[in-house]
């Protein structure tokens, strides 16, 4: 019987890969094989199955399919006998740039805002919620050592973990050693820059050499790798101090992991949402200076919104994914989760560059100029995203956001018309299935939620590639719709005191969520929902910013978007808004 089940898996995979008709085809062929007790595909099996494809095939074509299927079984076994490391991607690479999009490839001087006037407080914990820009000035002026900052943050990290459940692995010894090194270098006049000596936290799908990288799953809770992810190396080179591996939703989905649910510090009865749950919760609770999260379909923006943070989802191709669990080679992005937009620029300066490992990373330079005149930016908005809000407080805060932007010099808002287009393309399922294939065949996915990501096996290769062509068409339409703006504003998809706009779970709440009842027609998408899906698939940069508070005291939010590689303009407007609004300075009330 085990041999028959293995044959079933082989043939389901084969017929999915060569695109034979509908998703029912593998099941039909398997049923015929099981009835006949056969180990190979026959002409009769394929003929019956192809009746469901809706396409006519000649006898010669059907015979060729049978020969190909049976011949390829040997090839598949040869390929499956080869161990493919996690960080081997397909030899083709996605680009967010389409006709009609121009990017600036000139490297400009990195210009921070004027040094803030900072003074060490009597109680060092008073700086726990300070922006990185301010912490850096404390360290640079030698009012505080990295070791002191590190001990303060480690103390908070341990103290609040029992309430918020954001840490998987504490790295106290690593942090203390790195802080000691930073102090010695700074004392010797070898200051590396604004991240030198600043403590940070790492999402637990990112590899740190010699320590567990669990992917949030009981199936991998003892897993570790003998190399650092590129982002870990780059931040270490910048002098940042790594405190902990922070919780990810299981296999980068939601906020539930094998240790339970990660909570929001604003309301510990709520999960922190999205798979960058731990980085967002710990940063918002003042337990690290900043964190690194990842996003495929909302896992930076959503938990940053729930936790009231400035979470940046960069353009695809900005930051190397080497050493990071993959969900989609054409959608995965790494980005900073901070309190302040300029902090995101500081982190991006360290990590947004090619590493010679992830070949999807672009050579477009990351530029930052804190003196950029936001009054000269062309700012758009999706009016419908504001109009459709039904919660009175959320709607009021959204309107005040536009008023604040006007007060800092945005004279007019250009309304954007979001084109009607297909956005439910299903590529994530295929790419995720490929990444976990070896683990599934080895039986390591039995304990994992979602099993072996088997749904992707039922998407024919032809249909997958056609969907990517449709994706390209959609990207061209979005580029056309946004061509007259530098940055544009969208009312947040997280409503006050609840999981999503109008009380529903937001589309950006985390990767890997169910798609509902397949027998029910899809719900009509609002222009804002359609845009969210389009901008994600097109891999546009976006930053979430808190824009007020709900009646229950939890953050409400707004999201700024830009066209590919437009992070400087995006962050400049976000910073200007934060400077005027000040919501990033409000702290959650925590009980140990």
Query: So which residues are the catalytic ones?
Result: 203, 275, 299
Contact 417, 484 (CB under 8 A): no
Residue 212 DSSP class: B
Residue 313 CA to residue 294 CA, distance in Å, equals 8
Long-range contacts of 181-184 (CB under 8 A, 24+ apart): 182/146, 182/239, 182/241, 183/145, 183/146, 183/147
* Closest alpha carbon to 27 in 44, 10, 42, 12: 12
Q: CB-based burial of residue 1 (10 Å sphere; 0-12 exposed, 13-18 middle, 19+ buried)?
A: exposed
Phi-psi region of 83 (alpha: psi -120 to 50; beta: other; left: phi over 0): beta
Contact 298, 510 (CB under 8 A): yes
How many helices and strands in the chain, by DSSP H and E?
18, 15
- Helical spans, DSSP H, in 97-187: 132-140, 146-164, 172-187
Neighbours of 393 (CB within 10 A): 17
Contact 25, 18 (CB under 8 A): no
267 SS3 class: strand
* Closest alpha carbon to 194 in 245, 130, 126, 243: 130
């Amino acid at each position: 019987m085990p041999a028959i089940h293995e044959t079933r898996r082989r043939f389901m995979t084969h017929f999915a890969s060569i695109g034979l008709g509908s998703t029912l085809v593998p099941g039909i062929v398997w049923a015929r094989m099981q009835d006949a007790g056969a180990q190979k595909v026959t002409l009769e099996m394929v003929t019956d199955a192809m009746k469901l494809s809706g396409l006519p095939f000649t006898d010669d074509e059907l015979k060729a399919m049978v020969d190909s299927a049976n011949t390829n079984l040997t090839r598949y076994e040869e390929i499956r006998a080869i161990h493919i490391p996690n960080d081997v991607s397909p030899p083709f690479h996605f680009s967010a740039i389409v006709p009609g999009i121009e990017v600036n490839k000139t490297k400009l001087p990195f210009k921070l805002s004027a040094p803030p006037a900072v003074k060490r407080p009597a109680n060092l914990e008073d700086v726990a919620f300070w922006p990185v820009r301010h912490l850096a000035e404390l360290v640079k002026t030698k009012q505080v050592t990295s070791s002191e900052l590190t001990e303060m943050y480690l103390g908070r990290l341990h103290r609040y973990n029992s309430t918020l459940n954001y840490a998987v692995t504490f790295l106290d010894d690593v942090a203390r050693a790195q802080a000691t090194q930073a102090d010695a270098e700074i004392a010797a006049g070898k200051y590396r820059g604004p991240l030198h000596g600043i403590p940070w936290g790492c999402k637990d799908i990112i590899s740190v050499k010699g320590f567990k990288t669990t992917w949030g799953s009981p199936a991998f809770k003892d897993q570790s790798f003998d190399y650092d992810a590129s982002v870990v190396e780059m931040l270490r080179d910048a002098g940042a101090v790594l405190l902990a591996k922070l919780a990810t939703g299981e296999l980068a989905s939601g906020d539930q992991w094998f240790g339970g649910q990660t909570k929001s510090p604003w309301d510990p009865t709520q999960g922190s949402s999205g798979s960058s749950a731990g980085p967002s919760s710990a940063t918002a609770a003042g337990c690290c200076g900043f964190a690194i999260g990842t996003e495929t379909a909302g896992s930076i923006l959503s938990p940053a919104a729930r936790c009231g943070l400035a979470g940046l989802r960069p353009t695809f191709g900005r930051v190397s994914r080497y050493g990071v669990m993959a969900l989609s080679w054409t959608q995965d992005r790494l980005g900073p989760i901070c309190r302040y937009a300029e902090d995101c620029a500081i982190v991006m300066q360290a990590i947004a560059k090619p590493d010679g490992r992830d070949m999807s990373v672009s050579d477009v330079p990351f530029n930052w100029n804190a003196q950029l005149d936001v009054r000269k930016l062309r700012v758009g908005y999706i009016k419908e995203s504001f109009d459709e809000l039904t919660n009175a407080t959320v709607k009021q805060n959204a309107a005040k956001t536009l008023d604040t932007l006007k007060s800092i010099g945005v004279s007019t808002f250009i309304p954007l018309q979001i084109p009607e287009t297909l956005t439910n393309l299903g590529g994530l399922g295929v790419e995720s299935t490929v990444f976990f294939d070896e683990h599934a065949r080895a039986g390591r996915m039995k304990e994992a939620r979602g099993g072996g990501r088997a749904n992707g096996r039922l998407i024919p290769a032809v249909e997958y590639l056609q969907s990517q062509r449709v994706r390209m068409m959609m990207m061209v339409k979005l580029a056309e719709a946004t061509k007259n703006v530098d940055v544009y504003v969208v009312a947040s998809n997280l409503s006050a005191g609840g999981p999503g706009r109008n009380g529903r779970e937001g589309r950006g709440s985390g990767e890997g969520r169910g798609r509902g009842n397949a027998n029910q027609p899809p719900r009509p998408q609002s222009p804002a929902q359609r845009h969210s899906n389009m901008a994600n698939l097109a891999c546009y940069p976006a930053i979430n910013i808190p824009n007020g508070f709900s009646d229950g005291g939890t953050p409400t939010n707004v999201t700024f978007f830009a066209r590919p590689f437009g992070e400087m303009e995006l962050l400049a407007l976000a910073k200007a808004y934060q400077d005027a609004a000040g919501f990033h300075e409000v702290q959650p009330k925590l009980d140990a």
